[in-house]
Amino acid sequence: MTATTFRIGGDLGVRRLGFGAMQLPTERGPAREASLRVARRAVELGVTLIDTAHLYGGGANEELLAEALYPYADGLLVTTKVGVARSAESGEWGLDGRPEVLRDQVENALRRLRVERLELLQLHRIDPEVPLADQLGALRELQTAGKVGRLGLSEITVAELDEARAIIDVASVQNRYSLLDREHESVLAACEAAGIAFLPWRPVAGAASGASAAAAEITAVADELGATPAQVSLAWLLDRSPVVLPIPGTARIDHLEENVAAADLRLTPAHHDRLDRLDDLGRPGRPAERA
């Protein structure tokens, strides 16, 4: 039977099916109120892993989650990411792994999330303009100071993972990955071998588009199981490896409930065989947005 929980870093237990908060609107008004309800409903449904980042509204998403969920339920992990900043000159977002920027974003995340320690912090992207040792060294210093519990990375290669592991203990990797987009298969394999949590973002991409033979096959499997294409995609991910912790995002409670229910969906060996072959039918193009 597929395990429903995983211990990040070997000791931080969470339910494997999490929630990505990126899509939640944060502007004042009805949309924000709806976002608060979605975040609270996720916890009510038993979600214990929620993903956010400084990039999502320059910290506004972190503040939204704190407003919705603080004081946090026992066992709830809200993980955030740093390393992308808005230029003071152009106003555009870009990679910024300078140690002083990372330290500032961590301090702001602690304040916004109303915690004294971030149990899991991920480097949003590796900045090629800053030595990796400097970026991870700054985060390791924050870890030593007790402000960060565990460290992870996002959108990395196997070579970058190996380099990072020579500097820090890597607890998690957050790469783009789904039933129809398996570009980072080798990274997942490396994480599985090392017991590192693998958080796929955009985990249901293309599943319900109906624009490809692969999407049509997912829909066919879903119809046979009385499920939705998104649920089939999430169930496949949960079965794919015990280190996979999908973080599907939505701003709608009905979609949230649909996603969470995927944890109870059981695929037969025949369904697995059909779905495993779908990567050969073509994968969607690389998305422009960052998770």
Task: Give the residue numbers annotated as catalytic, written as ranges.
Answer: 56
Judge contact between 132 and 163, C-beta under 8 A: yes
3-state SS track over the chain:
CCCCEEEECCCEEEECCCEECCCCCCCCCHHHHHHHHHHHHHHHCCCCEEECCCCCCCCHHHHHHHHHHCCCCCCCEEEEEECEEECCCCCCEEECCCHHHHHHHHHHHHHHHCCCCEEEEEECCCCCCCCHHHHHHHHHHHHHCCCEEEEEEECCCHHHHHHHHCCCCEEEEECECECCECCCHHHHHHHHHHCCEECCECCCCCCCCCCCHHHHHHHHHHHHHCCCHHHHHHHHHHHHCCCECCCCECCCHHHHHHHHHHHHCCCCHHHHHHHHHHHHHCCCCCCCCCC
117: tokens are: 């320690």
